[in-house]
């Protein structure tokens, strides 16, 4: 039977809606499957900023990563590279943004996802006008970051392979200067009052003699367990109010085209907040990410699986429906040597496969110019020669 013009219109419309729903950015996007299938490396060209980012070397590295079985790449994005000045008014480095856009595109062309952590800042990585020690406490500096993050994501919006991240590490107020910051003192005091308006309760808990006039944040040296816990509970509340609100704005902007995760190192990962969470109750995130590095000083090869399982179960107990990514894992060959680094990789990747979580290994290639333990996490030497860990990963990820 020959279709009418109206019938043909509706058929095309339905086919179009179905295609969008079945695609990576559609309404039927299987986020759990996407995250648990992540096999990623961090690509970190040390001491090279995004204005001078070497796209040719990066492109060749993507091809080599894919041969090992990787389907994602974690890019290190210092805020200062893209916005050398944030306040009083933003100044963008357009070449850096173009290079990042091309880097994400090169990954997309190869079917590789780009993991984009948005809040990399600290010593040497912070734009003009930003005090990295207390940037989440100051409404002006956090607003500047919010504008930066939303604009950077908007500029990358042509791509459909992005996994965006907000995270705790580097966002918490600086421990070594809390009492020197009026912002930190006022914020912590307000948090305590909101939790319990009787200062005597806090004094009993901490074995102190404060009044509301002189109550201070944590002094790390000699802090009691309860004092330590309450510090991190305050940080968790701060992350809910800052990153949590920004997460809602990012999700409203990107819709289903990009996924947004929260990468957690301390509050849940190490349970320093003892049950309190940086994740808002309405949970605007698509997935959660955690951290486990093999640590040479803590019998890593004997306890790697045990330590990872403790962290994994902590996340799964609190967020049973959330897809999980082991977003930072690794072992340096300076302490371990090539053989034990490969053994650590075997345990980490096998664990990720068997527990059905995604994994990112820090990092693809070693570099020079820093502490030897920090620059030897790669599965390739600085000249690109594969280490034994590379072969182990290829066997687990590709079966060959």
3-state secondary structure the chain: CCCCHHHHHHHHHHHHHHHHHHCCCCCCCCHHHHHHCCEEEEECCCCCCHHHCCHHHHHHHHHHHHHHCCCEEEECCEHHHHCCECCCCCECCHHHHHHHHHHHHHHHHCCCEEEEECCECCCCCCCECCCCCCCCCCHHHHHHHHHHHHHHHHHCCCCCCEEEEEECCCCCCCHHHHHHCHHHHHHHHHHHHHHCCCHHHHHHHHCCCCCCCCCCCCCCCCCCHHHHHHHHHHHHHHHHHCHHHHHHHHHHHHCCCCEEEEECCCCCCCCCCCCCCCCCCCCCCCEEEEEEECCHHHCHHHHHHHHHHHHHHHHHHHCCCCCEEEEEEECCHHHHHHHHHHHHHHHHHHHHHHHCCEEEECCCECCCCCCCCCCCCCCECCCCCECHHHHHHHHHHHCC
Give me 292's structure tokens: 């486990």
Check pLDDT > 60 for residue 135: yes
Model confidence pLDDT, tens digit, residues 11-44: 333 333 333 333 444 446 899 999 999 999 999 9
Phi-psi region of 69 (alpha: psi -120 to 50; beta: other; left: phi over 0): left
Check pLDDT > 50 for residue 93: yes
15-19, 206-210, 351-355: which range is least confident on average?
A: 15-19
Identify the band that residue 300 occupies on the pLDDT scale cut at 50, 70 and 90.
Answer: low
Check pLDDT > 60 for residue 134: yes
Are 39 and 71 spatial neighbours (Cβ–Cβ below 8 Å)? yes
* CATH 3.20.20.80 correct for 30-175+231-398: yes
Identify the band that residue 395 occupies on the pLDDT scale cut at 50, 70 and 90.
Answer: very high
Phi, psi of 325 (to 5 degrees): -125, 130
Check pLDDT > 60 for residue 287: yes
Residue 19 CA to residue 40 CA, distance in Å, equals 28
* pLDDT attached to residue 20: 32
Model confidence pLDDT, tens digit, residues 170-200: 999 999 999 999 999 999 999 999 999 999 9
Domain range annotation of the chain? 30-175+231-398
Check pLDDT > 70 for residue 4: no
* pLDDT attached to residue 24: 41
Provide the b/e sequence for 202-239 (b: ≥16 CB within 10 Å). beeebeeeeeeeebebbeeeeeeeebebbbbbbbbbbb
- Cα R_g (the chain), whole angstroms: 23
Mean pLDDT estimate for the chain: 91
* pLDDT attached to residue 8: 34
Q: What's the whole-number mean pLDDT along residues 60-74? A: 98
User: What is the percentage of the chain residues whose pLDDT exceeds 90?
Assistant: 83
Model confidence pLDDT, tens digit, residues 138-176: 999 999 999 999 999 999 999 999 999 999 999 999 999
Check pLDDT > 50 for residue 7: no
Are 319 and 293 spatial neighbours (Cβ–Cβ below 8 Å)? no
Q: What's the whole-number mean pLDDT along residues 61-78? A: 98
* pLDDT attached to residue 12: 33
Residue 396 CA to residue 347 CA, distance in Å, equals 10
Residue 150 neighbours by CB under 8 Å, 6+ apart: 246, 249, 250, 253
Q: What's the whole-number mean pLDDT along residues 273-287? A: 97
Residue 181 neighbours by CB under 8 Å, 6+ apart: 133, 134, 137, 173
Provide the b/e sequence for 155-167 (b: ≥16 CB within 10 Å). ebeebebbbbbbb
Identify the band that residue 298 occupies on the pLDDT scale cut at 50, 70 and 90.
Answer: low
Question: Greater confidence, 25 or 341?
Answer: 341
* pLDDT attached to residue 299: 57
Residue 327 CA to residue 389 CA, distance in Å, equals 18
């Amino acid at each position: 039977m020959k279709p009418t013009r109206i019938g043909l219109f509706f058929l095309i419309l339905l086919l179009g809606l179905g295609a969008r729903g079945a695609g990576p950015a559609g309404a039927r996007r299987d986020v759990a499957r996407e995250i648990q299938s992540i096999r990623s490396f961090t690509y970190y060209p040390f001491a090279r900023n995004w204005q001078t980012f070497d796209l040719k070397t990066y492109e060749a590295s993507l091809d080599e990563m894919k041969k090992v079985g990787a389907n994602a790449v974690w890019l290190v994005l210092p805020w200062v590279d893209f916005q050398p000045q944030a306040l009083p008014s933003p100044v963008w480095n357009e070449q850096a943004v173009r290079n990042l856009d091309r880097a994400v595109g090169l990954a997309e062309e190869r079917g590789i996802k780009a993991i984009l952590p948005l809040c990399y800042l600290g010593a040497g990585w912070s734009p003009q006008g930003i005090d990295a020690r207390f940037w989440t406490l100051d409404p002006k500096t956090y607003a500047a970051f919010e504008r930066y993050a939303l604009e950077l994501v908007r500029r990358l919006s042509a791509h459909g392979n992005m996994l965006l991240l907000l995270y705790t590490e580097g966002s918490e107020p600086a421990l070594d200067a809390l009492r020197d910051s009026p912002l930190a003192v006022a914020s912590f005091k307000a948090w305590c009052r909101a939790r319990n308006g009787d200062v005597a309760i806090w004094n009993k808990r901490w074995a102190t003699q404060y009044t509301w006039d002189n109550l201070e944040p944590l002094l790390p040296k000699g802090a009691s367990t309860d004092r330590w816990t309450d510090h991190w509970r305050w940080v968790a509340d701060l992350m809910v109010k800052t990153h949590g609100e920004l997460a809602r704005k990012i999700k409203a902007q990107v819709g289903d085209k990009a996924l947004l995760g929260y990468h957690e190192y301390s509050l849940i990962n190490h349970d320093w907040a003892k049950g309190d969470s940086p994740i808002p109750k309405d949970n605007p995130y698509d997935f959660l990410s955690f951290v486990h590095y093999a640590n040479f000083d803590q019998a890593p090869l004997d306890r790697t699986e045990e330590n990872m399982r403790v962290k994994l179960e902590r996340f799964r107990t609190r967020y049973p429906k959330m897809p999980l990514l082991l977003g930072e894992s690794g072992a340096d060959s300076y302490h371990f040597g090539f053989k034990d680094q490969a053994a650590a990789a075997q345990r980490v990747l096998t664990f990720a496969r068997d527990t059905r979580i995604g994994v990112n290994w820090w990092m693809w290639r070693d570099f020079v110019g820093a502490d030897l333990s920090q620059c030897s996490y790669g599965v390739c030497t600085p000249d690109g020669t594969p280490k034994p860990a590379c072969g182990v990963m290829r066997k687990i990820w590709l079966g060959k």
